[in-house]
Amino acid sequence: MLWVKSFHIVFVASWFAGLFYLPRIFVNLAMVPPESVAERARLLLMARKLMRFMTLLAVPALALGLWLWLGYGIGRGPGNGWLHAKLAIVVLLLGYHHACGVLLRRFEAGINRASHTWFRWFNEAPVILLLLAVVLVVVKPF
């Protein structure tokens, strides 16, 4: 199980790298002047490739997490409330990942309405969720 846990951590860390960086690309896209067609096209290409890559990383991260959950039998009985909270965070992260895809499609269609400041705040969500997940897993507060 330690191999599974090790690979789970690597894939989660890699997935988070994309969750941290894609919204930064959105900040830059939101700041591109309308006449900068080449800059916009280059940023959209980067965003599309990163979205594809981070989706490919999320799949094994989730599969290995499920394997750990089922393998350790965690979640049954008292003292495992931390796991339910962590699973709620995973669901929120999946929603955030999906929201990134929706925002990317809006940029591609040229219908983004959010400012670069909004995207700067949007970029903070995975940081907070990662902090909460790590504290839950390590400290197991409930």
Q: Name the 3-class secondary structure at 142.
A: coil
Per-residue pLDDT, 76:
67
Q: Is 19 exposed, middle or buried (0-12, 13-18, 19+ CB in 10 A)?
A: buried
- pLDDT tens track, the chain, 142 positions: 899 999 999 999 999 999 999 999 999 999 999 999 999 999 999 999 999 999 999 999 999 999 998 887 766 667 788 888 999 999 999 999 999 999 999 999 999 999 999 999 999 999 999 999 999 999 999 8
Six token digits for residue 32: 């591109």
How many domains would you assign to the chain? 1
Per-residue pLDDT, 33:
95
Range of the domain at 76: 2-139
Specify the pTM.
0.93
